[in-house]
Every structure is written in C-alpha cells, then in structure tokens.
Amino acid sequence: MIAYVPVPVPGSIAISKFKSIARSTPSNTLILDVRDDSEVTGGKIKGALHIPTQDVAARLSEIPKGKLVIAHCKTGVRASMAYQTLKDNGYNAMFLNAKIDIDPKGNIKVTPKF
C-alpha cells in the first residue's frame, strides 16, 4: 500500500497548532485574517486582525513586529502571499496552508488541502 504524506510547506503551521492558537489566542501571537471583506462578514476568529491580502504591504504599521503573526485565508494561497510580504519586512510569521471555514460565532473547521 502506498500512502501519500504531504511535506510541510516552508513557513506553514501545522493544523493542530493553528487550532490550539485560535482557541487560546496567546498574547505573543497575532492571527492575521487576509480574506476579502465579503468573506469576513460570515465569521472571524476572535481576536484576529483583518487586513485583506492586497492591503498587507500598505498596512504593515498596524501589525505588531514583536509577535508571531500567523496569516490565514480560505485556502492558504493568499495567506502564503501575506506570509511572504511579512517575512520580506522582517516579521516572525507563518501561514495556514489549509482550507478553513469560520462560522458567525468564530468557530473554525480546518481541513488539509489534500
């Protein structure tokens, strides 16, 4: 039997670790929601900062440099782009490379892309 085991993408955070951080919102970590405005109206993780991907570079002053910044979007693609912008500007950053759904109460459902 052959089993496919995905290799973590550099800069990505494990789903289990992301879920733990999203539940506890540690003071040394910021979740950066880079989805579009229309996507956020359906629900947002409590305590997350929302800055759409295309605005991250222009709004870096709103993102604290002294924290681990974890970017997420709906599928991981835009989060990866935001992660690269953050890394290029000296931030300690990671991103969620998975599918995520957030309900109106902020509850999350994260599934691997594969």
Looking at domain 15-111, its CATH architecture is 3-Layer(aba) Sandwich (3.40)
pLDDT tens digit sequence for 80-107: 999 999 999 999 999 999 999 999 999 9
**Which band of pLDDT confidence, cut at 50, 70 and 90, is reported for residue 113?**
confident
DSSP SS3 for 71: strand
**Active-site residue numbers?**
73
pLDDT on residue 5:
66
Cβ neighbours around 68 below 10 Å, total = 15
pLDDT tens digit sequence for 51-76: 999 999 999 999 999 999 999 999 99
pLDDT on residue 114:
64
Give the Cα separation of 94 and 70 in Å (integer). 5
pLDDT on residue 6:
65
